[in-house]
Structure 1
Amino acid sequence: MLLEYLLRVHANVSFIGRHEVAQISFELQTRQQTTLTPRLQQSVKLLQMSTLDFSREVAEAIANNPFLEEQEDSSATADAIASTPDSEHERASLQPASSSRDEQEPMPATQHIEADAPSGYSGDYPVSRNADSSDPDVGQWARSETSFKESLLADACAYKLSERDYTLAQYIIEALDDDGYLRIPFSDLADASQFSPPPQDSEWEIVLHLVQQIGTPGLGARNLSECLTLQLNALPEDTAGRALALRIVTGHLDRLGRCDYPGLARVLDCASQDLQQACALIRSLDPRPGGRYSAVDPSCYVVPDVIVRKVGKAWVAIGNDSAIPQARLNTAYAQVFKETRYNGRSLMAQALQEARWLMRSLEQRSTTIQRVAQAIVARQQTFFDYGEIALRPLMLSEIADELGLHESTVSRATSNKYLASPRGIYEFKHFFSRELATSSGGTCSAVAVRALIQEMIEEENPKAPLSDVTLASKLAREGVVVARRTVSKYRAQIKYPSAELRRAP
């Protein structure tokens, strides 16, 4: 009995010991984690926004915060602009905005962000023409886009059609898809009860034939074969290869899609030269005739953040302040708030603090974009003088090291940001291109190599186009060593087909 009791006690002690070990097996761990403050989160959010999104964000902040107000043009400035000749106005509008900011005074720097003189080019944004009107008129910059359906309906009105035929034409035109095809059967175009008597398929065919004649050739086709046939029929009868091309698109389009040229020559019983001529004619046709009428989405308009101009012998970047809304702190409200004492003061204090944070973020965003743009322009001077072929390889880390910024900050400052120059409007990221080695030991940018390939293709003999192997050999003679598959990739990026498809008849 004593032995059994001792064994039970030992078992209990062992259990308790194991339990105690389980209790003290938990470990304490420490780790570091970076957490952005609300102010830094706001700065990062504003920096990576495009100009259009940034403008909406600032406008929303002005509408919701009583301590913020939009900076309006003074009447004196408006009168000065109105009395300035056009040429002088253009020169004055492109001058860099001056700043009277004092680095030693923290608060005045956040009062407002405005240019002492208008900075001209505002992209497609409206600019205020009347000092008495604070809201810009969309009609100053918006324009109407005409779709191919509207164009067809307008052309149909020129024909003497009965009310019934015009209604049928309306149903057909409205049923066309974005490519210009009619992919809906006649029975599904309209409810038969809307017509008396209901239209027959033959009646639909007659009206469809009219629609196909009044628009761009190919519109209103029900399949690719009919689309290409309509375009070929619209060509003059003496067009070289037209008859053979009609035979191909009406009965042997599948063979052409497989590039089965020997089979086509055998089935059509024609010479290889005539077949090549007919195939080249077919490739020149438009398989999506409705695409050329696609309306441009106004939201895709680009508003440049900076303007590049030549000052002396150097290109410089000038901030486009007129493209964004100008905001400032309402000092009158801030002073009234300072002198009041009431229970809701904490809410107003938070709104005032948010207004000050926003003003500092606006200034910081403008300064960062301006610095990054100027650093890019300073390194790409030859691009603005000679074009794509002179673009230097550039990395985000180079700009970050030069400006003392983090690489992620530079990445945000270049995303969805654009600059306007005499050579066109470019995204900031266009100037960052990886480097390729040259036989001389130097480097060149991938953009420059694409420009060289494009130049070689444009100067080639159309009857003997350059293959990718030949292009790689020519680039090697120029000192640029690239593989054939790299040439093929760059050729596809600049939207040039292969040598066989570029060959002229």
Structure 2
Amino acid sequence: MRQSLQLRLGQQLTMTPQLQQAIRLLQLSSLDLQAEVQTILDSNLMLERSDEPQDLPVQPETLAAQAAADARAETELNAAPADTTLPDELPVDSAWEDIYESYDGETRYSRGEDEDWDPYERYAGAGESLRDYLYWQMRLTPFNDRDMAIATAIIDAIDESGYLTLSLAEIVQGLRDDLAVTPAEVETVLEQIQRFDPQGVGARNPAECLLLQLEALPADTPWLTETRRLVEQHLELLADHDFSALMRRLKVSREALQAIIGLIQSLNPHPGARLSNAAPQYVVPDVLVYRQRAAWRVELNPESTPKVRINARYAALTRRAGKNGDIACLKNHLQEARWFLKSLQNRNETLLKVATCIVERQREFLEGGDEYMKPLILRDIAEVLGMHESTISRVTTQKYMHTPRGLYELKYFFSSHVGTRDGGECSSTAIRAMIRKLIQAEDPGKPLSDDKIAKLLEAEGIQVARRTVAKYREAMAVPSSSDRKRLV
């Protein structure tokens, strides 16, 4: 085995911190971008927020004018050219998966405590857990120390849906080391907790959950007695849609059974679901789309476009002669500020280009709805704009477009295609809209099966298999035909 030394010439991309920052900004959502900008402002004294009004949408010509103004301002600063030359375009248009770890999009925000909050609003509306809400109600209940310990054990055994996950015997066993209690004592405390809000909490099964909610209704509620009997004795028949047997067992007419089922449907089988630990997710549109005469206008949302500029007073200090540490620090901050502004401008321009191209491809959707959505993949946009697919993927992730039809993530406009009888293509989004329309118009007593829906679509020239219909239906959270069958 012989060792040798070889020289090879080649080009290799170096992932500089500035390039990492450019890619990072490209894929940030509007809320995360605001947080990132604030972090940069706090750490770089050369940057400041612009005081210019932001009451007008950011249009392409506005971006160009702003870029020209920034260029003139930098020229006036007479900064030293040594190792501060910036390329005209940042080379972020490539596949970086093997080089740069993708940003996970998770940003944490602190939330202070407000003593003026209404307790119910704090627990039921501010994203606090069901367990905390039940603890709060427990402390307001006149329990003695013994019952308080039992209540704590019961609440600890209630899951996020509001159901008791342990039997009374298991709760007694769990308290054995600290407190000797009987199942009857646990049952008594459980009955108290089952009166807590939300109604139905602490139930041991779905039937008990519904019964607890029925008990809270006024005594003069129509068909209340029959509804209780159905829940106690005939839930299996209701699950099987055996309406004839239900009418015989309850001795009621078809119209009365409809009212009974309607009352059951007004109840919540998962009472704890509305009290979630998850903080509310707010969405700010990045792009605004509206119709102006016969054309569609695409603009960046000024509310989600940070206005940042270089502080001219601090930048002027870098022109002073000398090589002391303070001047060098200021020059470094100025260089970083220029890179950041360049990255921010590149993000805005790329986002606007991609959004404009999407609108041009999906004009029929904007005018007619989901059924007119055209097949579109990332490669289509990438080829038109001369960019890499990874760039299109980043700029369409966690970015939202506000249209006359509603608020959509840019990813929504991309979908696979299914062949048609005449050799054309139909997007999966359009097919899902057609399936939804067929199901909404079906006879409730004779719902359409997946096979029947596939045949109806084939009659429209769309060739789709039954299993594909089932997949799209399940993706829309639409029950099967047997589960959709209801009393009419």
Q: Give yes or no for TM over 0.5.
A: yes
TM-score band by shorter chain is: 0.7 to 0.9
Residues 212 and 488 of structure 1: CA distance in aligned 2, closer, same or farther (over 3 Å): same
**1:70 alignment partner in structure 2:** 49
Gaps of 5+ in 1: 1-21, 79-91, 112-136
Residues 158 and 29 of structure 1: CA distance in aligned 2, closer, same or farther (over 3 Å): closer
Alignment partner of 1:386 is 2:380 = no
Distance 1:138 1:208 in 2: 32
**1:12 alignment partner in structure 2:** none
Alignment partner of 1:421 is 2:386 = no
Residue by residue over 1:207-240, the C-alpha shift from the partner in whole angstroms, topping out at 9 and shown as x without a partner, is: 3223323434431113455435545766865576
Residues 451 and 138 of structure 1: CA distance in aligned 2, closer, same or farther (over 3 Å): farther
Deviation at residue 386 of structure 1 after TM alignment: 2.2
**1:246 alignment partner in structure 2:** 232
**1:310 alignment partner in structure 2:** 291
Residue by residue over 1:345-382, the C-alpha shift from the partner in whole angstroms, topping out at 9 and shown as x without a partner, is: 44432222111100111111111111111111222222
Residue by residue over 1:271-306, the C-alpha shift from the partner in whole angstroms, topping out at 9 and shown as x without a partner, is: 9x99xx8998999565422112326513x2112111
**1:9 alignment partner in structure 2:** none
**1:49 alignment partner in structure 2:** 28
Normalising by the residue count of structure 1, what TM-score does the alignment of the two structures yield?
Answer: 0.70
- The answer (yes or no) to whether the contact 1:101–1:109 under 8 Å persists in 2 is no
Structure 1 stretch displaced more, 472-481 or 226-235: 226-235
Alignment partner of 1:106 is 2:77 = no
- What SS class does the counterpart of residue 407 from structure 2 fall into? strand
Alignment partner of 1:412 is 2:398 = no
**1:209 alignment partner in structure 2:** 191
**1:34 alignment partner in structure 2:** 13
Residue by residue over 1:381-411, the C-alpha shift from the partner in whole angstroms, topping out at 9 and shown as x without a partner, is: 2222222122111122222222222222111
Alignment partner of 1:301 is 2:266 = no
Normalising by the residue count of structure 2, what TM-score does the alignment of the two structures yield?
Answer: 0.72
Alignment partner of 1:484 is 2:463 = no
**1:114 alignment partner in structure 2:** none
Residues 445 and 313 of structure 1: CA distance in aligned 2, closer, same or farther (over 3 Å): same
1:61 partner letter: I
Note the 1:173-322 alignment, pairs <5 A. 173=155, 176-183=158-165, 186-187=171-172, 200-224=182-206, 226-228=208-210, 230=212, 243-247=229-233, 286-294=268-276, 297-298=279-280, 300-322=281-303
Distance 2:312 2:300 in 1: 26
- What SS class does the counterpart of residue 338 from structure 1 fall into? coil
Deviation at residue 241 of structure 1 after TM alignment: 7.2
Distance 2:324 2:469 in 1: 71
Deviation at residue 454 of structure 1 after TM alignment: 0.7
**1:469 alignment partner in structure 2:** 451
Query: Which is higher, the Rg of structure 1 or of structure 2?
Result: 1
**1:339 alignment partner in structure 2:** 320
1:466 partner letter: L
- The answer (yes or no) to whether the contact 1:55–1:325 under 8 Å persists in 2 is yes
- What SS class does the counterpart of residue 37 from structure 2 fall into? helix
The number of aligned residues is 423
- Pick 1 or 2: higher relative contact order, CA cutoff 8 A, min separation 6: 2
**2:98 alignment partner in structure 1:** none
Structure 1 stretch displaced more, 487-496 or 434-443: 434-443
1:204 partner letter: V
Distance 1:360 1:94 in 2: 20
Residues 312 and 174 of structure 1: CA distance in aligned 2, closer, same or farther (over 3 Å): farther
| CA RMSD between the two structures | 4.4
1:390 partner letter: Y
Deviation at residue 474 of structure 1 after TM alignment: 0.9
Deviation at residue 343 of structure 1 after TM alignment: 2.9
Residues 213 and 324 of structure 1: CA distance in aligned 2, closer, same or farther (over 3 Å): same
